[in-house]
Structure 1
């Protein structure tokens, strides 16, 4: 994908990401939910402005519809890879990449099986609300394979996660955000609800 250098701003990126297709079904046991375009563009622009997207080897852990990986490709990543354990999510992300002339690549793999070294890890992992500590394999893998880590976490569990991170990486920035989640599960009563969260940027020590 050719970098849109004349359009690199949050609004342009958000509009682009909002047009990506979303899957028809979400698996609650995997705590799947879409990352909204506003949240995704916030994370991606921050990583870009930090110098950790353009020309870098980037991986999106738990890619869903490919929003971070395709966004990183849009912003000029040298290599942009998205992984997901759900083959339907990978199929959706590949379709989005094809429809948007993105060179982001996707693989159907469990996060624990990911290998390699990456300049930048992007992720909005499970919050561990359904299965306790379901976010930890993502956090551990990010620290194992990445240098610069951008991650989103539920504010309710962040104190534990912050302590875990602080013993392994240097936390550069913590930002309070609100993720907008549509009504996708039976227990959802509103068309949309907001989850108070924390966007973390850290560098491996």
Structure 2
């Protein structure tokens, strides 16, 4: 496969990854737009966190960060998600792209144990954008990432919780090096949604362990 040398080309590749086939409200499943995923992956690549690294995408959904990392030269890339429908789709997409450095696993992230070293973790967990959402799910993901012991963590969170998160990261010996800010579009995919589309301010914290 031809090496990707421009962020726009990465975005175009990621645009071909479909959304969640059967989004489940209890899992707060929202597909990361290709423009956001490509920007974050491109930045991570520039910081030396992808090429030749072992990458893990926790709560991967349809696999955008796992597949994107594989496209950008990760040594290995693993996506983990509890939703079998999304994993099946991710496997299908990676197969069509003929990627031999990516794999997908159906598992609750709390039960997952890679059994080997991980260099970089990406995660876009349920970050509580729904009024009735189970708060604190993103912190569960952070704690799991700490347990797995990567060198670097990229984690999505609600921007409104930034001050709390900075203290939480510091209290858990995570050194925040970068904060990326995005307007994350929430489409009308569940019955309780009243708007066709709503933007939510999110941050991605890059932390070194």
Q: Which of 107, 110, 113 pairs up with 1:109?
A: 107
Write the distance in 2 (CA, Å) between the matches of 1:67 and 1:126: 16
Write the distance in 2 (CA, Å) between the matches of 1:143 and 1:78: 21
Q: Do 2:21 and 2:86's aligned partners in 1 also have CA atoms closer than 8 Å?
A: no
Write the distance in 1 (CA, Å) between the matches of 2:108 and 2:144: 11
Root-mean-square deviation (Å): 1.4
Instruction: Specify the alignment match of 2:140 in structure 1.
Output: 137
Write the distance in 2 (CA, Å) between the matches of 1:83 and 1:181: 22
* Alignment pair present for 1:87 and 2:84: yes
Write the distance in 2 (CA, Å) between the matches of 1:161 and 1:131: 17
Instruction: Specify the alignment match of 1:61 in structure 2.
Output: 58
* Alignment pair present for 1:178 and 2:183: yes
Instruction: Specify the alignment match of 1:20 in structure 2.
Output: 17
Instruction: Specify the alignment match of 1:148 in structure 2.
Output: 152
Q: TM-score, normalised by structure 2?
A: 0.91
Deviation at 1:9, TM superposition (A): 2.0
* Alignment pair present for 1:126 and 2:131: no
Q: Do 1:44 and 1:68's aligned partners in 2 also have CA atoms closer than 8 Å?
A: yes
Q: Do 1:180 and 1:192's aligned partners in 2 also have CA atoms closer than 8 Å?
A: yes
Write the distance in 1 (CA, Å) between the matches of 2:97 and 2:197: 27
* Alignment pair present for 1:198 and 2:203: yes
Q: Do 1:36 and 1:181's aligned partners in 2 also have CA atoms closer than 8 Å?
A: no
The answer for unaligned runs of 5 or more in structure 2 is none
Write the distance in 1 (CA, Å) between the matches of 2:25 and 2:166: 25
Deviation beyond 6 Å, 4+ runs, structure 1: none
- Cα distance per residue 1:126-185 (max 9 Å; x no partner): 113410211222111112212111111111223222211122211001122111222211
The number of residues matched between the two structures is 201
Q: Within 5 Å, which residues of 2 pair with 1:160-175? A: 160-167=164-171, 168-175=173-180
Deviation at 1:24, TM superposition (A): 2.6
Deviation at 1:56, TM superposition (A): 0.4
- Cα distance per residue 1:6-47 (max 9 Å; x no partner): x32221111110111223311111111111101111111111
